[in-house]
Structure 1
Amino acid sequence: MSDIAAAASGKGHGDENFPVASVFIAPRHRAPILAFYDFVRAADDISDHATLSADEKLAMLDRMEAALLGSGEPIAVALRLRDILAERALEPRHAQDLLAAFRRDVTQTRYRDFDDLLDYCRYSAMPVGRYVLDVHGEDRAATYGANDALCAALQIINHLQDCAKDFRTLDRVYLPQDALAAHGASVEMLAAPAASPQLAAVLRELAARTSELLERSASFAERIADIRLAMEVGAIQRLAETLTRRLLVADPLSEKVHAGKGQYIATALAGAGGVLLRRLLRPRSRALAGESA
């Protein structure tokens, strides 16, 4: 077993907070998405590894990029993704952007302000959705903006849910420093068993800003041509909205803020079903509008 394979956390796509290549996605598109996920998962596990040094992590991430580009050793997840990219005539840029985010995780543990955090999301989250859109051949001009807002929201939701764990295990804090200072909070408060009033105010502010991102992504599913992908996006949007409402009132230091299995399935189905219903009614709505005119 290679050192890269040995660094794996054992986490798979079914363990994520949001759907990854779910049953909504057409079967012909699932393998390219899962190949991308497996590559990204391996790189993420390296950047989060508890015992590897920073230099070891950076060297391993460089090796993964070299393998992806065909100039390095034969790393299985990189070769699989490379083959998929060649088959679909896709560029490796989205995977490379994610590697840049994981390198940043190794070297940067604090974020100055919300814009600094969004710049991180530009590399850590937005490329995931962009890749899925490219796999489906969607119109970039019509979809990338809404995608970026949704993916940034998903990333920040994860940061808020895991803020205490990230600090305690990795000394990594994604809560912007200016927001902490404005509310009189400190990173050390993340080590407490419950959020102080000052820290709670920071978390609520970031949840509110996440809600604003989700407002910008609300039309995303309607911009997507592929109905099955639109349903997946509808499911993700609804899950994100539900979790964000929870984060506006819950304390992630002392309460479980992840969706339970039952709530996850019900919320995802409601989101996907809403998209499907709107698509089915759209021709009828247009016909009625024409009759009225």
Structure 2
Amino acid sequence: MGIDHYENFPVASLLLPARLRPAVRQLYAFARGADDLADEGDAGPDDRLQALEGWRSALQALCSAQPLPASLSGAERELFTRLGETIHRHQLPVQPLFDLLSAFRQDVRQSRYEDEPALLDYCQRSANPVGRLMLHLYGTTDPLDRRQSDALCTGLQRANFCQDVALDHAKGRCYIPQDCLLRHGARMEELAALCQAPPARVPEHWRAVLHEQSEQARMALLAGSPLAWRLPGRIGLELRLVVHGGLRVLEKLAAGGYNPFANRPILNRRDTILLCWRAFCQSRPQPVSAPS
């Protein structure tokens, strides 16, 4: 939680078994690199889509044991060579990687989401594949584990959407469903003003929008949280920290008056101590009403 590029991707921490850290680093490098193709630099949409298509072709080449495309740079060729070794060593499914590329292509093409199903479809390809890959590394493919992993990853991403409303707006995107804005009488023109001149207190209808979205994120995290208490050892502890990290971001959003424009909720060193205490000492969090 809280890394700069691909916030919901679990970077290989000391809590992960040493045998898994290189694989996680390679998967992170792929996700971060593809995300950068969609987001970073001054390239236009067509060039971004062409670069992402090059990565899709490279991934397809790995699947069919064909030579990598000549269009790849030296650094990209090394990335895909190591990724191929990781896929082979751990017998990882490749569809989640294709799903990630699909989501990043969508980021280039689409900047608004009409309703909840449209946003969840995006999360299904942009966040949930990460959890499914991690489950394969952990050696579990149980359907219940997959469902709870999906809920956890979607919850983390939706918490990030609430946290980064202003940052996403600067990229020309909004991950708040348009029907949610309409339901509370909020307008995109107001969002631009809030980002440009963050107020000390956001208007009540925008508080309602962000409260609703944070509640959706919180309920998804809670729905997925049993997985973190069911998986054993250091892997379970890592996931418990992730769950509590996402919930803590939402707590800080609420404490800041649902005002991520002036008070973007981020986790600091004091939060890290709190999260460790919660992960080690507290039982699984239970659904309760979120503060309004």
TM-score bucket (shorter structure): 0.7 to 0.9
- Tell me which residue corresponds to 1:133: 135
Post-superposition Cα deviations, 1:121-143, rounded to whole Å, max 9, x if no partner, equal 00000011110110111133131
Task: Give the structure-2-normalised TM-score.
Answer: 0.84
- Determine the structure 2 residue equivalent to 1:186: 187
Task: Tell me the alpha carbon deviations over residues 207-252 of structure 1, each in whole angstroms, 9 at most, x when there is no partner.
Answer: 111121122112111332x421111110011111111222234310
Q: Distance in 1 between matches of 2:281 and 2:58?
A: 42
Matching residue's letter, 2:69 = G
Query: Counterpart of 1:27 in 2: which secondary structure?
Result: coil
Match of 2:121 in 1: 119
Among residues 51, 54, 57, which one is paired with 2:42 in the alignment?
Answer: 51
**In the alignment, structure 1 residue 41 sits paired with structure 2 residue 38:** no
The 2-side partners of 1:43 and 1:180 are apart by 30
In 2, Cα distance between equivalents of 1:218 and 1:86: 30
CA distance in 1, matches of 2:150, 2:281: 22
CA pair 183-98 structure 1, distance change in 2 beyond 3 A: same
Distance 1:46 1:214 in 2: 29
- Of 95, 98, 119 in structure 1, the residue corresponding to residue 97 of structure 2 is 95
Relative distance call for 1:123 and 1:17 in structure 2 (3 A) is closer
Give the equivalent residue in structure 2 for 1:208: 215
2:253 equivalent to 1:252: no
Q: Which residue of 2 aligns with 1:288?
A: none
Shift of 1:64: 1.2
Amino acid at match of 1:252: P
User: 1:270-281 alignment to 2 at 5 Å?
Assistant: 270-274=277-281
Superposition RMSD in Å: 2.2
1:235–1:272 contact (8 Å) kept in structure 2: yes
Taking structure 1 as the reference length, the TM-score comes to: 0.83
- Structure 1 unaligned spans of 5+: 1-9, 279-293
- Name the CA distance, whole Å, in 2 between partners of 1:223 and 1:175: 32
Tell me, yes or no, if the aligned pair for 2:244 and 2:275 is still in contact at 8 Å: yes
Deviation sequence 1:24-59 (CA, Å, 0-9, x none): 100000111110000110110111125211111111
Change (3 A) 1:81 1:210: same
User: Are 1:242 and 2:239 an aligned pair?
Assistant: no
Aligned amino acid, residue 172 of structure 1? R
Percent pairwise identity: 33
- 1:230-289: per-residue Cα shift (whole Å, max 9, x none)? 1111001111111122223431011131111331x21332244248x99xxxxxxxxxxx
Structure 1 residue ranges, 4+ long, deviating more than 4 angstroms after superposition:
10-13, 16-19
Other-structure match for 2:273: 266
Which runs of no fewer than 5 residues in structure 2 stay unpaired?
Answer: 62-67, 285-292
Q: 1:145 to 1:269 in 2, by over 3 A?
A: same
Distance in 2 between residues matched to 1:101 and 1:242, nearest whole Å: 26
Q: Between Structure 1 and Structure 2, how many residues are aligned? A: 263
SS of the residue corresponding to residue 20 of structure 2 reads helix
In terms of fraction of residues, the more helix-rich structure is 1
Structure 1 residue aligned with 2:234, among 216, 228, 238?
228
Aligned residue number for residue 284 of structure 1: none
Which residue pairs with 2:65 in the alignment? none
User: Alignment partner of 1:28: what SS?
Assistant: coil
Aligned counterparts of 1:37 and 1:219: Cα–Cα separation in 2: 25
Deviation of 1:88 (Å): 1.5
Amino acid corresponding to residue 107 of structure 2 in structure 1:
D
Assess if the C-alpha contact under 8 Å between 2:8 and 2:127 holds in 1.
Answer: no
Deviation at 1:91, TM superposition (A): 2.1
| Equivalent position of 2:288 in the other structure | none
Cα 1:114–1:93 shift into 2, 3 Å: same
Q: Does 1:219 align with 2:226?
A: yes
In structure 1, how many angstroms separate the alpha carbons of the residues matched to 2:10 and 2:276?
A: 11
